[in-house]
Amino acid sequence: MNEPEIRQFKANRGWQWIRAGATLLGKNPAQWIMMLVALFALFKLLLLIPYVGPLVLLAAPIALVGLMEGCRAIEFGKPLAFGYLLAGFTRNTGALLVLGSLSIASNLLVMIAMSAIGGNSFEEVIKLSTQAKLTPDNARELSNAASGIFAALLVGWLLSIVVMMALWFAPLLVYYRNLKPHQAMWYSFTACRKNLGAFAVYGGVIFCALILVMPVAMSLRLLDLGLLLLAPVVIPSIHAAYTDVFTDAPENPAETTG
């Protein structure tokens, strides 16, 4: 196996990835947004079907590589087609599904760790905060419970970042570089670690944008609407970051019909 070459950048590169994503969106905004909305609606519909929801989560890496092929098509001046979403079913599909299962398992482990650390703190805070009168003893219990919640949230946040770093580029490394899932996760984590400043800026911009659009999502009672609103830029920015960090990315998009 030829080890992927990982390039290292300064912190301001994270902003460049966002700009590159916006530039890529601007090349074919209507079709790109239509494809993302259709994919979002399909996922929402399938998640409502019993026993199908977990299968949808397993297929998330397949959807991502399909979107990346769409980005690559736009970049090379090719017409965008829904057929690109099926690209993940043409190569390394089994490995991508394994990666999806590892993603689910990793996030479940994070939740278990948070539950183990937080214990009954969450229930205690809810119970104590609803009491009409707060006594000194209750205040002490509330403070202890809040400390437990803070520790659980902090550990969950740190573990979630580690999981995200391991999974960010992993589907693309499996698809384009034919890496095994565990190898792809390791190289993805390494790439993010080597570019921690750039990803801090990148993630900070996305987080701030998400905060700005959340009031709209909450007013419509669609909490994941914020993700959909940002996806037209964020998805192409993943493509920009991957082709920037991993210098051995393929030169041409997959041939497809759609």
Query: What does the pLDDT look like over 71-101, one tens digit per residue?
Result: 988 888 888 888 888 899 998 999 999 999 9
Which of 142-175 are b and which e, b meaning 16 or more Cβ less than 10 Å from the residue's Cβ? beebeebbeebeebbeebeeebbbbbbbbbbbbb
**What pTM was computed for the model?**
0.83
- Closest of 22, 32, 21 to residue 66, by C-alpha: 32
The reply to whether 203 falls in a domain is yes
- Within a domain: 8: no
- Is 150 part of a structural domain of the chain? no
Rounded CA-CA distance 164/190 in Å is 12
Instruction: Spell out, as residue ranges, where the chain has pLDDT lower than 50.
Output: 251, 255-258
Token duo for residue 68? 């990346």
For residue range 26-73, what is the model confidence (pLDDT) as tens digits? 988 888 888 888 888 888 888 888 877 777 888 899 999 999 999 988
Residue 207 lies in a domain: yes
Domain with 82 in it: 13-103+167-245
Cβ contact 20:243 at 8 Å: no
Q: Which two tokens stand for residue 148?
A: 């437990």
Contact present, 53 and 46 (Cβ < 8 Å): yes
Residue 127 confidence (pLDDT) = 58
Domain membership of residue 116 (yes or no) is no
65 is a domain residue: yes
Amino acid 255: pLDDT: 47
Q: Enumerate residues 6+ apart whose C-beta is below 8 A from 90.
A: 254
Q: Domain for residue 258, yes or no?
A: no
User: Amino acid identity, residue 54?
Assistant: P
Q: 28 near 80, Cβ under 8 Å?
A: yes
Query: What's the burial of 223, exposed, middle or buried (CB within 10 Å: 0-12/13-18/19+)?
Result: exposed
Domain count, the chain: 1
Give the integer Cα–Cα distance in Å for 52 and 48: 8
Q: Which of 22, 69, 21 is nearest to 250 (CA)?
A: 69
